[in-house]
Chains A and B, each alone.
Chain A
Amino acid sequence: MDEITYAQAVNAALRRALAEDPSTVLFGEDVALPGGVHGVTRRLHREFGERVFDTPISESAILGGAVGAAMMGLRPIVEIMWADFAFVAFDQLINQAANVRYVSRGRLTAPMTVRTQQGATPGSCAQHSQNVEALFAHIPGLRVCLPATPQDAYDLLLTAIGCDDPVVVIESRALYHSLKGTVDQDGPRAPIGGARIHRTGSDISVVTWGPMLHTVLEAARVLEGSDISVEVIDARWLNPFDTDTVAESVSRTGRLAVVHEANLTGGFGAEIIARVVERGVPLSTPPLRVATDDLRIPAAPGLQQAAIPGRDVVARQLLSMLAPGVAA
């Protein structure tokens, strides 16, 4: 099997969804004729014609349009170019989409998929750098997932599109063109939810998601040199969240760390720790949160690096759980 990029995996999933189900439509800013500003939707307009179209720069109309079309039986897949831009139209997601099934007692549904991407990359300004997953995950009625590998970029998106309720798929701009892998494109659609253990270990369970998975995997390799065995869990879905897999892992290792690129306060990492603690899983050390400092994201690469935990910071902090004297 040939390796494809994360962006190509998203493209392949969209193609399959559009080919398999004539009720799917794909729209957003610059997604059709230009093929997306990141090239993710290339050729889909050519193949599927008017089921793939460009919109005005009107996020409220894009998201609200998806809600209404979904109520009428279409399966809209819409792109919000940067997650930061969802804020100009939060009403349509939070007050509208998330309420459709519940308030109508199931007489109406909004089977819509919102694709977006987030995170800081060198030079991205404060309005193009935020990690907003906790804001979405806070809203009952919105499903949220964050693929971290090409296979998951393919699988999670197909699962999202097949879901009968609104799902926000948060992709990673940093991974679009930098990460390649083989992708099985013929499998059945996976059920919604489910974490993946990327690396087994016996000393610490680390839960992470999105591009931070790769930072954590690197940190785990660094710690291997100090004979520390790290289990790395990619949460993938924040809603529904796979508490069972995490709790089972922590019950073996006795230690829990969460690592995310989103800033610390109110981050989803805190929720994960709360869930494990509530389960009564015994911990041999206090749980650890590694996250971006609570600040706006600066543009200068050197400043960004100082704010966002990289491999060495993650490794040092994890090490501090086992050897408190060595602390960060």
Chain B
Amino acid sequence: MSHSLTATALADLAGLWRIRCFEETVTRLRVEEQIVGSVHLCIGQEAIPVGACAALDLTRDAVFATYRGHGWALACGADPAALFAELLGRETGTNGGRAGSAYLSDPDHGFYGENSIVGAGAPIAVGAALAARYDGSGRVALTVFGDGAMNQGAVHEAMNMASAFDLPVVFLVENNRYSELTPIAAMVRNADLVARSAAYGMPGARVDGNDVDAVRRAVAEAVDTCRSGRGPVLIEAHTQRLVGHYIGDAQVYRPRDEVELARTAEPIVVLTAALRAAGVSDAELTGIETRVRAEIETAAAMALAAPPADPNAVKEHVYG
């Protein structure tokens, strides 16, 4: 690894740890019931948001994520303290406590929000790309969803419309092989999801979703295609979640050794090993984790100290 490549990779590692530590803290807060309701983590899948967001220009591009979107919000640059606050229902949350874990947004950072209706972000991303036709921003819209969402009508419609109109949309599938509790392989005849791109006449790419750099390169290429007016791209990133579908999911549907095996190939392990092989010292590597952990702990403490959302404001922004 060249020096500058190593510098990028070290930043990537910090990005991975930022999401991992955030999600671990969320788990603790959920178990303590400081956070309530369903919470979906992206532990194991961090390389996809970190790699993809590094290839976007978030001053103009727009990201549409799913309920598994904390990592995407962080990778877009949202403030961890504001994200914790949102999950905790605090006044200082990105959405003032209205959105919670599954529906948060932070447009100041190009993060146009999670969606907890499977596949619903895809047509909206098409609209954001359509707007770029008129506003001259050169915006690319990236919409990310799981393998299961590929079976949602809205996603088919979005892909077709984006293709027909050559719209700048990156459709990014995080294929973690499960749609909630059901294996994707049992729900499609052809588990090669990227093959569907051919049906819409758009380029498709498959990428190792545990490799930040591979994701960055694939998304960068897709963004290039989009920006130059050559229409949408479908990317399928293979990954695995190291945790249940939601916090509390005992994963009885999943083979015992599957997660153990996945731990040996997860993004932090892979990138740490590559950096070590490139000569980065253990001290530097653990230093990154320690620094990020402290940053995340501070953010959580700030959020916990914030006041709860004000019930008197519950009717603000109601109209009609």
Contacts and interface: CB of A to CB of B under 8 A. Distances in A.
A57 B152 CA distance: 6
Nearest to A123: B37
Interface string A53-88: 011111110000000000000000000000011011
A4 interface: no
Given A293-B315, A295-B318, A303-B309, A57 B179 contact: yes
B117 A301 contact: no
B153 to A, nearest CB: 5
A54 B186 contact: yes
For chain A, what secondary structure do more than half of its interface residues adopt (helix, strand, loop), or is it mixed?
loop
Nearest to A55: B187
A296 interface: yes
Contacts of A296: 98, 318
Contacts of A54: 182, 186-187
Contact of A303 (B37, B98, B115, B149): B98
- Name the residue among A55, A56, A59, A295 with the largest chain B CB count within 10 angstroms: A56
Contacts of A302: 89, 97, 308-309, 311
B304 interface: no
Nearest to A84: B117
A127 B117 contact: yes
A1 B151 CA distance: 44
Chain B interface main SS type: loop
B54 interface: no
A289 to B, nearest CB: 17
Interface residues of B, number: 44
Interface stretch (A28-36, A158-166, A174-182, A234-242): A28-36
A226 to B, nearest CB: 26
A37 interface: yes
A45 to B, nearest CB: 12
B136 to A, nearest CB: 33
Contact of B37 (A58, A60, A124): A124
25 contacts: A29-B179, A34-B181, A34-B182, A37-B180, A54-B186, A56-B148, A56-B179, A56-B187, A58-B153, A88-B120, A88-B152, A88-B153, A89-B153, A122-B36, A123-B35, A123-B101, A125-B67, A126-B103, A127-B116, A295-B314, A299-B99, A299-B101, A301-B36, A301-B89, A302-B308
